[in-house]
């Protein structure tokens, strides 16, 4: 049964859809404020499927992500009391505490590295709002940090993606099952040791 080959083909077909840019923008926006799935799940196949548009996809992802980050900032500034119980009950609470400590130590500079951190960007946006970080430096740092990440991903795939696609197609089942195993191990570790 070729589960991941079918999934891969479906994702590649969706990434070539005329409205794929809207889906990418929407996912990028909500991921920056509350949704757990990163925009890379669309940016990667879209950049492989359409390497001629990879820079455009990176730009869309960056702009929508920063706008979503501003929404996350607003949530942190004006609605944190509604978010806090969910955060405490989730596995995000220790990362939220780490994010607060980083802001206390480095201020806005934390946003520059947030795009490459294993801590979800949404925690940085909500925390920035909660701590009343100045909005203009927050937005500028978000554009630079998030943009660096998304343009790096798009650039790598623009140039290497088309040559990697045949290899990925050949090994997609193995890659898929390894990814599932790693996800199960990560979730099990998180549940058992946090």
Cα 47 to chain centroid distance, Å, stands at 15
Q: Write down the pLDDT at residue 41.
A: 80
Which residues contact residue 71 at a Cβ distance below 8 angstroms, ignoring those fewer than 6 apart? 29, 32, 33, 125
DSSP string covering 54-79:
HHHHHHHHHHHHHHHHHHHHHHHHHS
Burial (CB < 10 A; 0-12, 13-18, 19+), residue 76, is buried
Q: Indicate the pTM of the whole model.
A: 0.79
Least confidently predicted of 7-11, 86-90, 189-193: 189-193
DSSP 38: -
User: In 10 A of CB 7, how many CB atoms?
Assistant: 12
* pLDDT tens digits along 86-145: 888 888 888 899 999 999 898 888 988 887 777 889 999 999 999 999 999 999 999 999
**Taking residues 33-48, what's their average pLDDT?**
83
User: How many CB atoms are closer than 10 A to CB 164?
Assistant: 12
CB atoms within 10 A of CB 191: 9
């Amino acid at each position: 049964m070729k589960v991941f080959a079918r999934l891969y083909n479906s994702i590649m077909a969706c990434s070539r859809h005329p409205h794929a840019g809207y889906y990418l923008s929407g996912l990028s926006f909500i991921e920056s404020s509350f949704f757990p799935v990163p925009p890379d799940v669309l940016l990667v196949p879209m950049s492989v499927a359409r390497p001629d548009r990879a820079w455009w996809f990176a730009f869309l992802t960056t702009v929508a992500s920063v706008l979503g980050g501003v929404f996350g900032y607003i949530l942190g500034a004006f609605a944190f009391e509604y978010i806090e119980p969910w955060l405490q009950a989730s596995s995000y609470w220790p990362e939220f505490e780490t994010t607060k400590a980083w802001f206390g130590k480095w201020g806005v500079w934390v946003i520059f590295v947030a795009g490459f951190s294993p801590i979800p960007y949404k925690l940085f946006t909500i925390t920035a709002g909660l701590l009343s970080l100045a909005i203009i430096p927050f937005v500028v740092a978000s554009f630079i940090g998030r943009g660096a990440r998304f343009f790096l991903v798009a650039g790598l795939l623009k140039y290497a993606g088309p040559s990697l696609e045949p290899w990925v197609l050949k090994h997609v089942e193995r890659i898929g099952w390894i990814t599932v195993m790693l996800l199960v191990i990560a979730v099990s570790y998180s549940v058992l040791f946090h």
